[in-house]
Amino acid sequence: MSRPILARDVRPGDTVRENRDIADMAAVFTFPVAKVEPYKNGKWIRLATTRGVIRNYSPDDELTLIDRPAPQLPTEPGSVIIAYEVRGVRNEDGWRMMLTSGEACPWISSQYVDGYPWHDPEHITDWLPATVTTKETEQ
């Protein structure tokens, strides 16, 4: 799953890698992130590791995302998510998906991903919950 990620997009639970030159030597730091918070009025992003080490980054600093554990998917039919990685295909804008009441391939998208509109939970490896609004709730 290793891919570039900006410091502002790091989430708690991620494992990231930083490559840095220190005194003409290449240094590599890999660490799990326990906490993410803005620092100095948002000019910096502060990442706290699970061991309590704090590192500060510009929001545009590039790190390498090593692992992002996917949270448990919703189980209530009608639940809606934005999926960012499905069947090994990554989409930074995401695909809207809804949980159906069907047993086989319960997640459906209006867009095909890797040739399929239906997806099992194990196919969805990066996602966030979504909210559904209607014209009545927008007013």
Residue 73 resides in a domain: no
pLDDT in tens, the chain (139 residues): 688 999 998 989 899 999 888 888 888 899 999 999 988 887 899 999 888 889 999 999 999 999 888 778 888 888 999 999 999 899 989 999 999 986 666 899 999 999 999 998 889 988 888 877 776 655 5
- One-letter amino acid at 68 equals R
Clarify whether residues 133 and 93 are in a common domain.
Answer: yes
- Using CB atoms within 10 A of its CB, is residue 87 exposed (0-12), middle (13-18) or buried (19+)? middle
Whether residues 7 and 57 share a domain: the answer is yes
* Residue 37 resides in a domain: yes
- What pTM was estimated for this model as a whole? 0.59
Domain interval for residue 23: 3-67
Residue that finishes a domain, picked among 36, 67, 98: 67
| Cα–Cα distance, 45 to 12 (Å, whole number) | 12
